[in-house]
Amino acid sequence: MPWQPPPEDPALRSDRFAIRLRGLEKAFNGHPVLRGTDLDIERGKINTIIGGSGQGKSVLVKHVIGLLKPDRGHVFVDGVDIPSLAEYDLNQIRRKFGMLFQYAALFDSLTVAENIEFPLVEHSSLDRAERARLVREGLASLGLPESLLEKYPAELSGGQRKRVGLARALVLKPEILLYDEPTTGLDPIATQNVDDMIRDISQQTRVTSVVISHDMASTFRIGDRISMLHEGQIIESGSPDEIRCSRDPVLRRFIETSGAVQLEPL
C-alpha cells in the first residue's frame, strides 16, 4: 500500500507558511536552550535565523527536520506535527527536506559524482544511467564543469565544496532547504557567490529556504524574512526593512556590532 501522509491540523496548515513552531522547549542536562519558541517559516521564501553563538539556532533546525524531539511544544510541517510521528512516517516527511551543512560535510572518500549521487542511491530506485544524468544536471545547474565529477572534496575550493553540497541537497528535489552557516570560512567573493547561489535557487525552484547565519551582510543581502533567536525565544521577525527599523535593543546591538548593516535611527 502506498504511504499515506499523517492527518494535518487544519488550524496550523497554511498556504503562506510551510513550517510553524509553537511553544518549543528543549533542555540539555537541565540547561534550557529553547524556551517556548514560536516561529513561522514563509513558503517559497528565504527565511534567515540569526542570533549569537550558543543561542540554540542549530538546535532549533534539528527540531524542524526531526533529528531532535522537543520536551514540550510542536513542530508543524505543512500542518503535520512531526514530533508525534512514528519513525516510518517521520522518515517520509524528511524527504521534503534537503540540507547544506556547515563546510558542506561531503564524504572525503567519495568523488564529487558519488557525493551528489548518494541520496539517489539511498532513497530512489533509479538505475545507474538515470542517476548519472541527474548528477550531471545538478552540477551544471550550479555552474560547475563536468571535469569536477571525478575529483575528491580535498581537491575543491571552499566555494566549489559548497556548490557540490548544494547539488547533493537538491538532487531529490526537496520542498524545503536548510542551510547551516553556509558562508562560514569563505572569503568575501566566495561568500557573495554562495549568496547568489542561494538566491538563484530560491527564484528558480520556489523552494522554501531556512538559513542559519551570523553573517549580517549576507543575511540582509538574501533574506526575505529575518528572525532573531535570543535566550531561547524569537524576539523579532520581519522583512529586512522591518528589521532595520526595529526598536529592540538586543537586536539592534547584535546587528550594529557587525558593522555591515546600517539600521534606521530611533
Q: Dig out the grid coordinates for 86 from the structure.
A: 512514528
Q: How far is CA 41 from CA 20, 44, 158, 188, in A?
A: 6, 9, 28, 28
Phi, psi for 68 (deg, rounded to 5): -125, 150
Query: Domain locations in the chain?
Result: 9-96+177-259, 108-173
pLDDT in tens, 11-40: 556 789 999 999 999 999 999 999 999 999
Identify whether the C-beta of residue 178 lies closer than 8 Å to the C-beta of residue 155: no
Residue type, 64: V
pLDDT in tens, 133-182: 999 988 888 888 899 999 999 999 887 888 888 888 888 889 999 998 88
At residue 98's C-alpha, the angle toward residues 96 and 103, to 5°, is 165
Give percent of the chain with pLDDT exceeding 70: 94
Mean of the per-residue pLDDT values for the chain? 88
pLDDT grade for 207, boundaries at 50, 70 and 90: very high
Domain 9-96+177-259: CATH architecture, name and number where available: 3-Layer(aba) Sandwich (3.40)
Encode 95-122 in three state secondary structure. CCEEEECCCCCCCCCCCHHHHHHHHHHH
Identify whether the C-beta of residue 42 lies closer than 8 Å to the C-beta of residue 16: yes
| Low-confidence winner among 15-24, 67-76, 254-263 (lowest mean pLDDT) | 254-263
Q: Give the pLDDT of residue 9.
A: 56
Q: Dig out the grid coordinates for 264 from the structure.
A: 534606521
Q: How far is CA 74 from CA 12, 90, 178, in A?
A: 10, 14, 19
Q: Give the pLDDT of residue 41.
A: 96
67-77 burial, b for 16+ CB within 10 Å, e for fewer?
ebebeebbbbb
CA atoms of 131 and 122, how far apart (whole Å): 11
Sign of the C-alpha dihedral computed for residues 58, 61, 63 and 66 taken in this order:
negative
For residue 219, count CB atoms less than 10 angstroms from its CB and return exposed for 0-12, middle for 13-18, buried for 19 or more: buried
